Every structure is written in structure tokens, then in C-alpha cells.
């Protein structure tokens, strides 16, 4: 028998503070690209803009590419996937 409280948790359990922080960063980065539609940044530029370390920045940008919100150009810049 499953109670209402256990049915609401994922198999991993409740979200950790790190998980919440990642979601916040993803939302912030999406928001920047929505607010500035022509925005295109290289990974180093994104690191400087958001004050992120290389590993974290790369993982966040890759996650947004994976969900097809961003795309990476031949020169390594990230821009919204729905734009030229």
C-alpha cells in the first residue's frame, strides 16, 4: 500500500540542494536566452557572464543542447535552437 506522501517522491527521494541549484541555473540561462533572442555565447563567455566554473558551465550548456533549447555552432557558440 502506497501512502500519498511516498507517492510524491521520485525513486531517488526528495530533490537535493544541488539538484535545486541546477534547476535554478537552467532556468536562469534559459531566461537570458529568451530575454535576449540574438544572444550567442562561447563557453568561456558564458562562464564569465554567469560566474560559473568550466565543468558546471559545460554541463549546463550541454543539458540545454540535449533538450534542444540551445544549439552549438561550428565556431563553438551557443544560441537558441529556434534561431538562425
pLDDT by residue for the chain (84 residues), tens only, comes to: 444 433 444 455 666 666 778 999 999 999 999 999 999 999 999 999 999 999 999 999 999 999 999 999 999 999 999 986
Kindly report whether the global pTM for this prediction surpasses the value 0.85. Answer: no
Which domains does the chain show, CATH number per domain? Answer: 16-80 (1.10.10)
Distance CA 8, CA 57 (A): 30
Distance CA 80, CA 84 (A): 8
What's residue 81's pLDDT? Answer: 96
What's residue 83's pLDDT? Answer: 85
Read out DSSP for 37-79? TT-EEEHHHHHHHHT--HHHHHHHHHHHHHTTSEEE-TTSEEE
Amino acid at each position: 500500500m502506497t501512502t500519498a506522501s511516498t507517492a510524491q517522491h521520485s525513486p531517488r527521494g526528495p530533490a537535493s540542494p544541488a539538484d535545486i541549484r541546477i534547476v535554478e541555473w537552467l532556468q536562469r540561462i534559459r531566461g537570458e536566452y529568451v530575454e535576449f533572442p540574438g544572444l550567442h555565447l562561447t563557453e568561456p563567455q558564458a562562464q564569465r557572464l554567469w560566474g560559473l566554473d568550466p565543468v558546471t558551465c559545460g554541463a549546463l550548456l550541454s543539458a540545454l543542447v540535449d533538450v534542444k533549447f540551445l544549439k552549438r555552432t561550428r565556431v563553438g557558440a551557443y544560441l537558441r535552437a529556434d534561431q538562425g
